A and B are shown apart, each in its own frame.
Chain A
Amino acid sequence: MISSLTTLQDRFGESILEVVEFRGEQTLTVDPTRAKEILKYCFDELAFDYLIDISSLDNLGTEPRWTMVYEIYTMANRANHHLRIKYDLTEDSKADSVSDIWPTAGWHEREIYDMMGIEFNDLADHRRILMWEGYPYFPLRKDFPLAGRPSEMPDVAFTEKAPLAGGPFVTSSTSATTVHREPRSREID
């Protein structure tokens, strides 16, 4: 398993920006422009035949805004090795779809599009997966309120703001005094 990491480092050198090992977990941060190439190499040459999940992070307030996270796994030769590959994405750019490498990626990518609004190049079926086509928001973004926003699509669906009784209540654990650490209502719009 060390070997797959070293192979990647030998092969892609500079494009692997950071390697973090924590209790046997390996996380690679890679160059966004070569990310797909690296993932394809993992599948083709290193036998990472199982895509566990794709997820995305919203780093609201810092640039670049998105981080894509790929969890891949190999079961070949009883290696049972798990690798996490991350790359950053600016708000106006699209990610490359990996659904041609792992077909299962299609649904993960549709979910990311649905919840975060990140779009994908070459994703064959680029519809929303949970919300309905035409819902105007991306609910997992950090600037979307927990209670939701009103929307209306005649004959399809509507949404209302949920009553949160002043919530959500958020603690600031790093604040100096207990008074400041108390849970406070933090409502976005």
Chain B
Amino acid sequence: MSRKSADAFRKISGNSGALRPSKTAQSLAPPLVKFFTNGLLRGAADVTSANYADETMSESIEQHAAYDSKVEGNIIFTQADAAINWMRKNSLWPMPMGLACCAIELMGSASSRFDISRFGAEVMRFSPRQSDVMIVAGTVTYKMALAVKRVWDQMPEPKWCIAMGACASSGGMYRSYAVLQGIDNLIPVDVYISGCPPRPEALIEGLMKLQDKIEKSESSKEHFKSEKTA
């Protein structure tokens, strides 16, 4: 769990509808939710295992019920996947890979009229090391292709890729000696957006599709797997 995800959680934790609390948790927790960051993963792990063993469940509830809500704020019980995915999907920091005309539309999406920050993706990072989703916006020439791949390789997991526009998805109208016929030849793409260029609405819809995908991912499994191997 990165720190910024936790920050994002705090930022939007007023919006409890987005989180899917379990039944027990709902009965325990008042609508306003505060996350206790230091205990997140331990607590989350407890709850995950509790799904499979009811005894542990009651134990962990007792543990948490001892938590002083007046001093510390309120607690919500949920599944680790739901919590992690919710934080991830609402704080996607894009790596803007603007290579041609589509990049203009990407800038439009980030600006006031379309305002991609409504979906938590306003923080364009020009450093791959701080980014979650690479938006390939434009024509990927062969001269640029390996550079894009290198930037992608520098992004830390978990990471996603949006191929924005015909060029990034398939080479577009450039059936040519100079243009890579789709960025998916080099890096795995999660969402393809059609259009030449796509309207900002289309980009935002693509982003929402990606959010749906993230929401369905088994992130905690991945997380604990990587923790074990580390």
A159 within 8 A of B: yes
Number of A residues near B (Cβ < 8 Å) is: 21
Nearest B residue (CB) for A131: B143
Across the interface, which residues of B come within 8 angstroms of A130, CB to CB?
143, 178
Secondary structure at chain B's binding surface: helix, strand, loop or mixed?
Answer: loop
Contact for A160 among B143, B146, B174, B181, CB less than 8 A = B181
A146-B176 Cα distance, complex, nearest whole Å: 6
Tell me whether B175 and A144 are in contact (CB under 8 A).
no
Mask, A142-183, CB within 8 Å of B = 1, is 001111110000011111101110010000000000000000
Q: Is A139 an interface residue (CB 8 A)?
A: yes
Q: Classify chain B: how many residues form its interface, as a range.
A: 10 to 19
Give B205 Cβ to nearest chain A Cβ, in Å. Answer: 28
Give CA–CA (A130, B146) in the complex, Å: 16
Shortest B200–chain A CB gap in Å is 29
Do residues A159 and B181 form an inter-chain contact, with CB atoms below 8 A? Answer: no
Contact B142–A158 (Cβ < 8 Å) = yes
Q: Is the interface of A mostly helix, strand, loop or mixed?
A: loop
Contacts of A159 in B (CB 8 A): 142, 177-178
Q: Chain B's nearest CB lies how many Å from the CB of A163?
A: 7
Q: For B179, what are the chain A residues with a Cβ–Cβ distance below 8 Å?
A: 162
A164 in contact with B143 (CB, 8 Å): no
Residue of A nearest to B175 (CB): A162
Q: Is the CB of A157 within 8 A of B146?
A: yes
- Shortest distance from the beta carbon of B71 to any chain A beta carbon, whole Å: 58
| The 7 nearest A-B residue pairs measured at CB | A148-B177, A162-B175, A159-B142, A157-B142, A139-B177, A164-B175, A157-B143
Listed A/B pairs (19) with beta-carbon separation below 8 Å:
A130-B143, A131-B143, A139-B177, A144-B177, A146-B175, A146-B176, A147-B175, A157-B142, A158-B142, A158-B146, A159-B142, A159-B177, A160-B180, A160-B181, A162-B176, A162-B181, A163-B175, A163-B181, A167-B175
